[in-house]
Amino acid sequence: MKTKKYFLLRWLLMAAAVMFLLLGLVKLCNYLLTDDSQSYTRLTMHELYERADAGEEVDTLFLGSSHCYRAYDPALYEELTGETAYNLGSSSQNYDTSYYLLREAARLYDLKTVYLDMHYKFLFMDSEDRDLVQANIISDYMRPSRNKLSFLLTTTEAKNYTNRFFPFRRNWQQLGDLAYLKENLEKKQTEGYRSYAPVTVEADRYAGRGFVWSDAKLDAEAITWWDNFGKVADDMKLDTAYPVSYIEKIVDFCRKKGIRLVFVTAPSLDQYLEAIGPYDPAHVYVQELADRYGVEYLDFNLTKRKYLDLTAENYIDVDHLNGSGAEQLTRLLVKAEGKPIDEYFSACYDDKYE
């Protein structure tokens, strides 16, 4: 009997040692092959956990794609309201990723309000057309938890497990490129990388709490391809079942947790909306979702011009705000809180000019 226990113990110790070595090897490969030296998401997720570890609180959370993390300044929001805020937006964030980020943030903080960006482009898409990169850049930096495991398993087909669970697999072809490995290692040995210092990429800089400030300005006159942008009418022919299923999960989660949920849409350049329009059907679709779930909806594309008069000077491209645009939008968001919807917003896009 003792002999059997001894062999079992040896086997368990050997298995643990092998697992430890494998995990170490995976971590080393991730470190060598993944270049995230200019990743905003790495900083956003690190700061999310760091603030929680320090005992800080977050009252208000912003969720959405790059339209979100460039539009709502949490530091300014806190200055104006006294409520702590965090922007958990990420590039091309789909609603499945928003759902698991919400769960992650709710594990760490006692959330009071969540603003969910409802850019219509992310509503109309087939589940097969989802961009897994937008999920990878989040799961790569989530701490181990049941929520992370669920995120990995439920939003990924089995054929993509290796890329989701092992980040280095996406850059496997770089393994023999010594110049790449050397350059990547040098980047990661810098004090800035090791201390999670704010990243600056051209005119953009990570400003903290998930927000990215940009000094870039759009030159609308240089755009000659207005007719090439996808039309709202064509986008609305695509399926919404998968995105809406996760919006419903977000609504249900917030209800169960007693979190106030608000749908928002960050503004796009008027000339762009006119080129892809009419825009109103997209607004109506989201408004009907909001009405169905009993959620307030603030579509800043419909803001009356006297309250928000953005020009190309306030954008980096046709539908992403720069820092000056984000400042105006964040101030308006605070002003519009609790006010009658028709005080600041028109009933349809064309009415905003009146």
Domains with residue ranges and CATH for the chain:
34-126+198-353 (3.40.50.1110)
The mean per-residue pLDDT over the stretch 56-65 comes to: 97
What pLDDT sits at residue 244? Answer: 95
Higher confidence at residue 9 or residue 164?
Answer: 164
Task: Give the torsion through C-alpha atoms of 220, 223, 224, 228, to 10 deg.
Answer: -110
Asked if residue 25 has pLDDT above 70, the reply is no
What pLDDT sits at residue 134? Answer: 81
The mean per-residue pLDDT over the stretch 263-269 comes to: 97
Q: Which residues pair with 298 in a beta bridge?
A: 264
CB 57 within 8 Å of CB 110: yes
Burial grade of 54 (CB within 10 A; 0-12, 13-18, 19 or more): exposed
Phi and psi, residue 35, nearest 5°: -95, 100
Could you give the CA distance from residue 1 to residue 80 in angstroms, rounded to a whole number? Answer: 70
DSSP label at 143?
P
Higher confidence at residue 64 or residue 173?
Answer: 64
Could you give the CA distance from residue 229 to residue 164 in angstroms, rounded to a whole number? Answer: 31
The mean per-residue pLDDT over the stretch 328-333 comes to: 97
The mean per-residue pLDDT over the stretch 92-104 comes to: 96
Task: Give the torsion through C-alpha atoms of 64, 67, 68, 71, to 10 deg.
Answer: -170
* Residue 104 confidence class, pLDDT cut points 50, 70, 90: very high
Higher confidence at residue 68 or residue 157?
Answer: 68
Angle at Cα 185 formed by Cα 180 and Cα 187, nearest 5°?
Answer: 100
* Residue 29 confidence class, pLDDT cut points 50, 70, 90: low
b/e per residue 220-234 (b: at least 16 CB within 10 A): beebeeeeeeeebee
Could you give the CA distance from residue 106 to residue 94 in angstroms, rounded to a whole number? Answer: 18
Enumerate residues 6+ apart whose C-beta is below 8 A from 335.
307, 344
CB 84 within 8 Å of CB 58: yes
Enumerate residues 6+ apart whose C-beta is below 8 A from 231.
276, 277
Could you give the CA distance from residue 34 to residue 124 in angstroms, rounded to a whole number? Answer: 31
What pLDDT sits at residue 49? Answer: 98
What pLDDT sits at residue 193? Answer: 92
Asked if residue 174 has pLDDT above 80, the reply is no
Burial grade of 32 (CB within 10 A; 0-12, 13-18, 19 or more): middle
The mean per-residue pLDDT over the stretch 86-108 comes to: 96
The mean per-residue pLDDT over the stretch 228-237 comes to: 89
Among the residue ranges 7-16, 49-58, 313-322, 327-336, the one predicted with the least confidence is 7-16
* Residue 354 confidence class, pLDDT cut points 50, 70, 90: low
CB 87 within 8 Å of CB 72: yes
Percent of the chain with pLDDT over 90: 64
Pairing of strands 260-265, 113-117: parallel
Tokens standing for residue 280: 């109103």
Phi and psi, residue 242, nearest 5°: -65, -50
Tokens 């825009």 map to which residue?
Answer: 279
Among the residue ranges 120-129, 201-210, 213-222, the one predicted with the least confidence is 120-129
CB 185 within 8 Å of CB 32: yes
Asked if residue 226 has pLDDT above 90, the reply is no
Residue-averaged pLDDT of the chain: 89
Higher confidence at residue 8 or residue 43?
Answer: 43
Determine how many CB atoms are found less than 10 A away from the CB of residue 77. Answer: 25
As a residue count, the chain comes to: 354
What pLDDT sits at residue 320? Answer: 97
The mean per-residue pLDDT over the stretch 134-138 comes to: 85
Asked if residue 315 has pLDDT above 90, the reply is yes
What pLDDT sits at residue 117? Answer: 97
Asked if residue 21 has pLDDT above 70, the reply is no
Asked if residue 292 has pLDDT above 60, the reply is yes
The mean per-residue pLDDT over the stretch 261-284 comes to: 95
Asked if residue 1 has pLDDT above 60, the reply is no
